[in-house]
Amino acid sequence: MRTYDNPVIGGFHPDPSVCRVGEDYYLACSSFEYFPGVPLFHSRDLVHWRQLGNVLDRPGQLDLPDDTPASAGIYAPTLRHHDGRFYLITTDVRGKGTFLVTADRPEGPWSDPVLVDVPGIDPDLAWDEDGTCWCAVAGVTVSRIDPATGKVLEGPLPIWSGTGLQHPEAPHLYRVGDWWYLMIAEGGTAGGHSVSIARARSPRGPYEPAPANPILSHRSTDLPIQSTGHADLVTAPDGTWWMVLLGTRPRGWFPGFHVLGRETFLTPVEWVDGWPRVGPVQEQHPAPGAWHPVELPPVRDDFDAPALDPSWISPRSRPDGSWSLTERPGWLTLDAKSGPAFLARRQQHPDCRASVRIDPGSGRAGLSVRMDEAHRYDIEVAGGAVSVVARIGPVRERIAEHAVEPGPVVLTVDIAATDAETRAPDTLAFSVEGPEGAVELAELDGRYLSTQVAGGFTGRVIGMYVTEGEAAFDWFDYQEALR
């Protein structure tokens, strides 16, 4: 029997929302303080996903101020397809509030934002048979809206707020037969996370809760996948039902540390007596009927393309003058004249290696593993020396230093997950390679770059930065390390 491995999209890809158009599936995730925002993926089988781009890819759509805190920004998009057009609705929690964008094709271009004046986060879109559009938000309330203008035509109406657990959120409305189903997350997005559902004859209610709520929760279990919730449902062409959801993979000693953030998982759904039934989310499941492996782009980037790969993200913004692929052809140039510049990609595997070949010139630049500004490990080169610098809360310490000759060097971080009984979830070993060979400079405890220490809703990213002057990067290579 063919099986698939969970997560289906590893690393910091939380709050998945999915829709199907014919035999094609499309999925969007939260992006929080990073630009461009809302990564968008395509699949033919729900298992193999390829990133098409980012929905919010220009400042006119996403303009996060420099003082946007880590884990603020863009929360919980819902992606839908209706009447030949794609719709995505989301919330900028410190900016414009709830808004929607549309596109004829998932690759874009996506429209400028249309503001929707509804209070709350985690907005959802659903259409009645007569074309009426409903928007549900965390809380949970529902409003009848005009998606072309964002005008609220009715509501918000309180409907069903779950079983009494904290933080009822992530509402999704579905029309199945003669019923409207309202699926929500509750219990908080940490270890108590769960999925519950209710149904009614109308989006306005009244809603009848499922007798077996929550229909999914891993709380108080020793399952390797935890914090399961914030789910969305989709039907396959063969009539089977599937759920995408977020979860975490904690490691290390109590309380367990997850470092990759909340990832996207897939699990099958059955309908029993008019209600969806979901078993525990396993590391492996029997695969959907369709099977369409895709050739993913190489994780090594030689910066020879005319544009940046969509997997590259930057905190809050990416000013045009801060980076260039043409100033030094075949190299990525980062410039700190307008402030520190940072391009990163998500860490997607517990065991991995990331390397970069850098020509620092007269600048200060390097390779960083980041949770947020106050929780990051850097290996940087400046003034003829390579240093490993750890930032943990208010403490910033230079751990090691090694002299190097002028010119390009290769900086590497090797990340290795530890055994379950080890206190730290993983270790990060930093090394430099120049003409004289490779030298390991430091090995650091990974727990300080985890959600349990840093807080927030994101996961680690790994990338290139410059804080002084200008530096050029010949290539960046990221590889899963197989044991």
Catalogue the active-site residues: 15, 169
Can you tell me the distance from the alpha carbon of 444 to that of 429, in angstroms, rounded to the nearest whole number? 6
What are the backbone dihedrals phi and psi of residue 140, each rounded to the nearest 5 degrees, phi first? -125, 135
Per DSSP, the residues of 299-352 read: S-B-S-SSS--TT-BEES---GGGEESTTTTTSEEEE-TTS-EEEEEE---SSE
* CB-based contact 481:347 (threshold 8 Å): no
Tell me the C-alpha distance between 43 and 41, whole Å. Answer: 7
Give the CA count within 13 Å in the CB-facing half-sphere of 157.
16
The Cα–Cα gap between 39 and 356 comes to: 24
243: tokens are 């759920």
Which two tokens mark 382? 């400046």
In angstroms, rounded to a whole number, what is the distance separating the alpha carbons of residues 178 and 426?
50
Q: Tell whether omega for the bond before 293 is within 30 degrees of 0, i.e. cis.
A: no
Contact 192, 212 (CB under 8 A): no
The backbone region for 177, taken as left when phi is positive above 0, alpha when psi lies in -120 to 50, beta otherwise, is left
Element (H, E) at 417: strand 409-417
- Number of helices (H), then strands (E), in the chain: 1, 38
* 188 phi-psi bin (left φ>0, alpha ψ -120 to 50, beta other): left
Distances (CA, A) of 14 to 264, 285, 368: 6, 20, 22
Beta bridge partners of 427: 416, 445
Strands (E) across 249-288 are located at 263-272, 275-277, 284-286
Q: End-to-end CA distance of the chain: give it in Å, rounded.
A: 25
Q: Give the number of other Cβ atoms within 10 Å of residue 483's Cβ.
A: 7
Q: Which amino acid is at 326?
A: T
Q: What is the DSSP letter of 298?
A: P
